[in-house]
Amino acid sequence: MNNRKRFQRICHSCGNVELVRSDQLQNKCRSCQSKLSGDVLKNYNKMNPEASGNASRKHGMHNTRLYRIHKTMMERCGHMGTRHKWAMYYEDRGIRVCKEWHNREAFFVWALSNGYSDELELDRIDNYEGYQPDNCRWVTHLVNMRNRRKSTTTPTFPSG
Q: Is the pTM of this model over 0.85?
A: no
pLDDT at 146: 85
Q: What is the pLDDT of residues 98-145, one digit of tens each?
A: 999 999 889 998 998 999 998 999 999 998 899 999 999 999 999 988
In a domain, 83, yes or no: yes
- Are 32 and 11 within 8 A, CB to CB? yes
In a domain, 156, yes or no: no
In a domain, 29, yes or no: yes
In a domain, 110, yes or no: yes
Pair 71, 47 in one domain: no
Pair 46, 109 in one domain: no
Pair 98, 122 in one domain: yes
Longest dimension (CA), the chain: 77
In a domain, 59, yes or no: no
Span 11-38, average pLDDT? 64
Pair 45, 77 in one domain: no
Q: What is the pLDDT of residues 34-91, one digit of tens each?
A: 665 444 454 444 444 444 444 444 556 777 899 999 998 988 888 776 776 767 778 7
In a domain, 140, yes or no: yes
pLDDT at 1: 46
Terminal Cα-to-Cα distance of the chain (whole angstroms): 74
In a domain, 158, yes or no: no
- Specify the number of domains making up the chain: 2
Q: Name the residue range of residue 46's domain.
A: 6-51
pLDDT at 87: 75
Q: In what order do the strands lie in the sheet with 17-21?
A: 17-21, 6-10, 40-43
pLDDT at 11: 66
Q: DSSP string of 20-35? A: EEGGG--SB-TTT--B
